[in-house]
């Protein structure tokens, strides 16, 4: 149900040429479960922008509270990942799990299929504030900017899609906008 509603809202944003603030998506899952939204992308170059913040984390012995936003090579099967993708991941943990004096801490990584994902230096810190992001696709590569860092990775395959995934917590995406052009 979430997938259909979100796709309808996204399609409406494309058709009206919405250039203002994007939509809000509260990606909220119970411990050990995930939510996966796959959104259509415009043909040609496009950009996905917005903010993400950790609102709440769950406890699970196997899964860390995580949210991902990525551009993938084609729509994955439900619960699966695209064949090739690039974007970012935010992981949140209780501060005491990392011997920190904060209730909850977060860290960002570049999330890249088929390559080693890269933790972003100096992104470990307290949760709470919305963090801006921008992911662009130019037809051949994905460029991701988050937590003050930018990386570009080639993307194989077409047509691309935008995927939002979260697990074991509540992650709020605000001003989420997919716009044509780069």
Each domain of the chain, given as residue ranges in start order, spans 2-180
Tokens 């012995």 found at: 61
Give 2's pLDDT tier (boundaries 50, 70, 90): very low
* CA torsion angle 123 125 131 137 (round to 10): 20
Residue 20 DSSP symbol: S
Q: Is the pLDDT of residue 10 over 60?
A: no
| Domain 2-180 superfamily per CATH | Exo-inulinase; domain 1 (2.60.120.560)
Tens digits of residue pLDDT in 110-164 = 999 877 789 998 898 888 899 999 999 999 999 999 999 999 999 987 789 999 9
Buried b (16+ CB within 10 A) or exposed e, 35-74: bbbbbebbeeebbbbbbbbbeebbeeeebebbbbbbbbbe
pTM: 0.83
């Amino acid at each position: 149900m979430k997938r259909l509603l979100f796709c309808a809202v996204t399609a409406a944003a494309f058709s009206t040429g919405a250039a203002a603030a994007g939509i809000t998506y509260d990606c909220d899952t119970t411990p050990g479960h995930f939510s996966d939204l796959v959104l259509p992308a415009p043909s040609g170059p496009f950009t996905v922008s917005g903010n993400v913040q950790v609102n709440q984390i769950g406890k699970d012995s196997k899964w860390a509270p995580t949210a991902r936003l990525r551009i993938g090579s084609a729509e994955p099967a439900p619960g699966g990942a695209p064949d090739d993708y690039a974007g970012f991941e935010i992981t949140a943990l209780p501060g005491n799990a990392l011997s920190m004096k904060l209730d909850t801490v977060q860290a960002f990584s570049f999330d890249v299929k088929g390559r080693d994902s890269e933790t972003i230096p100096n992104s470990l810190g307290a949760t709470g504030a919305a963090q801006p992001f921008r992911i662009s696709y130019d037809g051949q590569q994905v460029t991701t900017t988050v937590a003050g860092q930018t990386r570009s990775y080639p993307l194989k395959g077409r047509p691309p899609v935008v995927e939002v995934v979260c697990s074991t917590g509540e992650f709020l995406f605000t001003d989420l906008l997919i716009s044509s052009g780069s």
